[in-house]
Structure 1
């Protein structure tokens, strides 16, 4: 079911803000309000709701849809993976530009305007992705300390070629922040979300899509903190598993092929991290691995060792 509001015909490029709902109405209201309060006004907001209840629908029909022609609400019960859901939302989008907004996060009022200015001022049309620093907040909206958020310090906006920036985010994804931060052109995402070089990434779909963009052009990091990213007070990191390790083996192979791993520091940092994941999994006595899985992990170890010797 789709409840859609007509959009004003404006000469400025249309930006689609895509909100994939998980099912927290309180967070959704805050996120949606932050999108509606953008200083850049030629936006559409698409909300996809797969939740089993009608709580979100009733909220939107009562408090938002009657008062805004920018919102499209889509109720879909069909199960899809996250990357598939994100791609469906991109397909629904009418905008020239795409920015996801997770319901737990908040936009700063000038976020879209400041990021879009880089695209519109780029006469070379070489910019493919604009991101920014972010402020980390807890579930109540309180700021996390700098130590906990491990934030990147940047005094002025940074523009890098795609290959250098691709290596940078592979080494430290804090340079691109979470899914809610980057703005990109819809037409530049030339593969389905979660794919890079025709490879489907199960555990690192966002990185795959960012590399798809950066393989075509340059990257801008705005020094201003234009988004509030909500983190759990007990921050958890991805546990090593076969799918995660397999994704990173593909990232290393493709990173070399596309030129993202030109920096020896970047290459060694990534190899060291993936090697630790492999060793952790092999030594985990609570994780029962089949002979085939152990063989696969040892194959990955051999690949990493040979990659270091013969880059």
Structure 2
């Protein structure tokens, strides 16, 4: 272990006492042993602190914030406290495959990457399979433009050189899609590769931020403001971006009139015209929500 670089693993948590032990255990049980695990407690009011302090492992560093500040501030605090050559992230309700760090570190070195993103298996809290994410079937370098077109990153799948995250920290103003925003900005400076292997099991919790589509709409607007020129320079990116935003708008119960107008303007087609027309009539959201049921 003397020649193995230290990997700092950061887990933000808030009131996940019933779940945090499994998440932490999946990190401590990695085949790659030279790690420090920094758990940043976002001022939990449940038994999270008690559970974490009961774990007898010197690799754990527990920090509790003075006030509830959000996952991005917690992750950034973990980055500031980290001492490893590499950094990885997990969420307090997700589980790593035992070989995750070992395989991602090997992949990063073999491909001369700065950051590696792996695939994850998505499940319900009852452990029912939903789908795998992202929908990419080969190892490859992924560009800034590709990430704009298709959000292929989730925080618990990201592994990379610590200098990358110190130079590009999480944007604390993002109400959602913080991982997409982070990787987009990282991709403008660093070499990011996709590793086509499932190394994470993620569970969608009912109280998760991902259940709030209105926050996703706001987040999409912020991402558009940051990357407007790049988005509008490519009709395919325009269509992909605003279709994604339109889906969130529909989930809020509204019709995505402006989003469909943007797609029609920059990438016109008969299909886009029909969708824009349906949205203007107030019908698009009903068709969208009906499709979601099947």
User: TM bucket by the smaller chain?
Assistant: 0.7 to 0.9
Q: 2:2 aligns with which of 1, 10, 25?
A: 10
Q: 2:63 aligns with which of 66, 74, 79?
A: 74
Relative to structure 1, the CA distance from residue 202 to residue 132 in structure 2 (aligned partners, 3 Å threshold; closer, same or farther) is: same
| 1:31 positional shift | 0.8
* Structure 2 counterpart of 1:20: 12
CA contact (8 A) 2:76 2:170 kept: yes
**What is the distance in 2 between the residues matched to 1:277 and 1:229?**
21
* Structure 1 counterpart of 2:213: 239
Deviations 1:179-206 (A, max 9, x none): 21111222113233127xxxx5443322
| 1:218 positional shift | 2.9
Name structure 2 gaps, 5 residues minimum: 269-294
| 1:110 positional shift | 0.5
* Structure 2 counterpart of 1:217: 190
Secondary structure (helix, strand or coil) at the match of 2:117 reads strand
| 1:36 positional shift | 0.8
| 1:20 positional shift | 1.0
* Structure 1 counterpart of 2:22: 30
| 1:303 positional shift | 6.9
* Structure 2 counterpart of 1:162: 143
Confirm or deny that 1:192 pairs with 2:132. Answer: no
Deviations 1:244-292 (A, max 9, x none): 3422422540534xxxx776433312133435666887957xxxxxxxx
Count of residues in correspondence between the two structures = 264
Secondary structure (helix, strand or coil) at the match of 1:44 reads strand
Relative to structure 1, the CA distance from residue 98 to residue 217 in structure 2 (aligned partners, 3 Å threshold; closer, same or farther) is: same
Confirm or deny that 1:130 pairs with 2:116. Answer: yes
| 1:160 positional shift | 1.9
Q: 1:274 aligns with which of 245, 264, 270?
A: 245
| 1:93 positional shift | 0.9
Q: 2:110 aligns with which of 121, 125, 135?
A: 121
TM-score under structure 2 normalisation?
0.75
Q: For residues 135-154 of structure 1, what are the structure 2 equivalents within 5 Å?
A: 135-140=121-126, 142-144=127-129, 148-149=130-131, 151-152=133-134, 154=136
Secondary structure (helix, strand or coil) at the match of 1:25 reads coil
Relative to structure 1, the CA distance from residue 116 to residue 263 in structure 2 (aligned partners, 3 Å threshold; closer, same or farther) is: farther
Q: For residues 46-57 of structure 1, what are the structure 2 equivalents within 5 Å?
A: 46-53=38-45, 55-57=47-49
**What is the distance in 1 between the residues matched to 2:137 and 2:201?**
18
| 1:32 positional shift | 0.9
| 1:224 positional shift | 1.8
Name structure 1 gaps, 5 residues minimum: 1-8, 285-296
* Structure 2 counterpart of 1:87: 76
Secondary structure (helix, strand or coil) at the match of 1:30 reads helix
Relative to structure 1, the CA distance from residue 217 to residue 161 in structure 2 (aligned partners, 3 Å threshold; closer, same or farther) is: farther
TM-score under structure 1 normalisation?
0.71
